Structure 1
Amino acid sequence: MKFLPISIFIFALTTATALAYDPGPLQDICVATNDQDSGVFVNGKFCKDPKQATANDFLFMGLRNPGNTANPLGSQVTQAFVDQFPGVNTLGISMARIDFAPGGLNPPHFHPRASEVLLVVEGTLLVGLVTSNQLNNTFFTKVLYKGDVFTFPIGLIHFQLNIGNTNALAIASFSSQNPGVITVANAVFETKPPISTDVLTKAFQVDKKVVDYLQAQFWYDNN
């Protein structure tokens, strides 16, 4: 019995760690605001006085219209994260609309703070995800059709490619108000200042000319 308090402590600690992503709300609503004098700072955002909230705080119309896919990637992500949609503040949820031209790619990227569920609304998408080194970088891939759903676990690299002959549309839901997006190519070859070529040539086992070429490219951000 003398070990019971220690067991309870360990359980409480691990439970707290497991829930330590977005905080659970301690009030009905906590609409984000940029006015630092109007509320309390909660997990990266100030909350407006709940009594001042309106119905418009919980409405986001930015996913109505198609994104502009006339870009090098042929895709556009329209975010409904807390920065664009203040009403999701402290709720641990957000969404995005992803538009694809034929052949359009949402390039390999990952979300450091959220898992993702993707619903195909129109078109045909080839999707894939890669596990961590722990699971030998296993690659999972599927072709998705209208109505299909696929999930991407938090922190794992994934992509979507329109393999159909028409435009495609997908809606993504996230388990965080601010999932974050790290596009792999941009993060490696378009840093400011640049990552040392000595590091990249050794990491990728390629000649310096290859690294110089890649760093000189324009890496488009479709978010």
Structure 2
Amino acid sequence: MILPLFFIFCLFSSSHAAVQDFCVGDLTAPQGPAGYSCKNPSKVTVNDFVFSGLGTPGNTSNLIKAAVTPAFAAQFPGVNGLGISFGRLDLAPGGVVPFHTHPGGSEILVVVQGTILAGFVSSANTVYFKSLKKGDIMVFPQGLLHFQVNAGGSAAIAFVSFSSSSPGLQILDYALFGNNLPTELVAATTFLDTAQIKKLKGVLGGTG
């Protein structure tokens, strides 16, 4: 009786045990699908596990009047391989984070100042959106298109966490109009007017 129980305990323990305590990202090496390779443990310091950049407001003097300050593996090597990361979102009045996705992880947003209208679209094209106030939290499932808009008259701030150390980012508008995809092809695949496409390409830096 003791042997089977011991065997089950070993199976359970080994399936949840980490091979090593951590894998601080070696930012001098290329990042692969599994993240960065591990920094030599002898060169790891406490500063690898601390990020001090989220206390400073991001620069919202841009087209979308928004700024995201990421604390992903590339900026915060201590989270490499842990399946977590963090960030700060600043939205000036009228600011917006356009439809975008994080292909590598789900997101949780918590509002700490102002009012933010946020939402996402499911794969069934069902829309879920709500006006969030200070203390409200919303989750955006991995890979789904979502957005955030400043819904008040003053600056809004939120903090975001991700289920990945490198969640990735693709903004829909830039994917369509911020590259050299031919205008005719964009028109054929989106049903948009070519004049409007060229206008958007001009605003977002696209060509073709």
In the superposition, the TM-score normalised over structure 2's length comes to 0.85
Decide whether the 8 Å contact of 2:59 with 2:66 is kept in 1. yes
How far did residue 103 of structure 1 move?
1.5
**Cα distance change on mapping 1:25 and 1:108 into 2, 3 Å:** farther
- What residue identity is the alignment partner of 1:30? C
Partner secondary structure for residue 169 of structure 1: strand
1:28 alignment partner in structure 2: 21
1:124 is matched with which residue: 115, 118, 135? 115
How far did residue 92 of structure 1 move?
0.5
Name the CA distance, whole Å, in 2 between partners of 1:187 and 1:145: 30
Name the CA distance, whole Å, in 2 between partners of 1:218 and 1:110: 18
The answer as to 2:190 corresponding to 1:199 is no
Q: How does 1:1-223 map to 2 (within 5 A)?
A: 26-36=19-29, 43-132=34-123, 135=124, 137-191=125-179, 194-218=180-204
Name the CA distance, whole Å, in 1 between partners of 2:18 and 2:153: 44
- CA deviations on 1:136-187 (whole Å, 9 max, x unpaired) are x111110100000000000001011111111110000000000000000001
- What residue identity is the alignment partner of 1:31? V
**Cα distance change on mapping 1:122 and 1:131 into 2, 3 Å:** same
Decide whether the 8 Å contact of 2:35 with 2:166 is kept in 1. no
**Cα distance change on mapping 1:159 and 1:59 into 2, 3 Å:** same
Unaligned runs of 5+ in 2: 1-16
Percent identity reads 45
In the superposition, the TM-score normalised over structure 1's length comes to 0.79
Q: RMSD across aligned C-alpha pairs, in angstroms? A: 1.9
Decide whether the 8 Å contact of 2:35 with 2:81 is kept in 1. no
Partner secondary structure for residue 186 of structure 1: helix
Partner secondary structure for residue 149 of structure 2: strand
Q: Which moved more, 1:27-36 or 1:161-170?
A: 27-36
Partner secondary structure for residue 109 of structure 2: strand
Decide whether the 8 Å contact of 1:102 with 1:165 is kept in 2. yes
Figure out how many residues of one structure are paired with residues of the other and give that number.
188
**Cα distance change on mapping 1:198 and 1:42 into 2, 3 Å:** closer
- CA deviations on 1:166-221 (whole Å, 9 max, x unpaired) are 11100000000000000000011112xx11222211222233222222222236xx
Unaligned runs of 5+ in 1: 1-23
How far did residue 50 of structure 1 move?
2.0
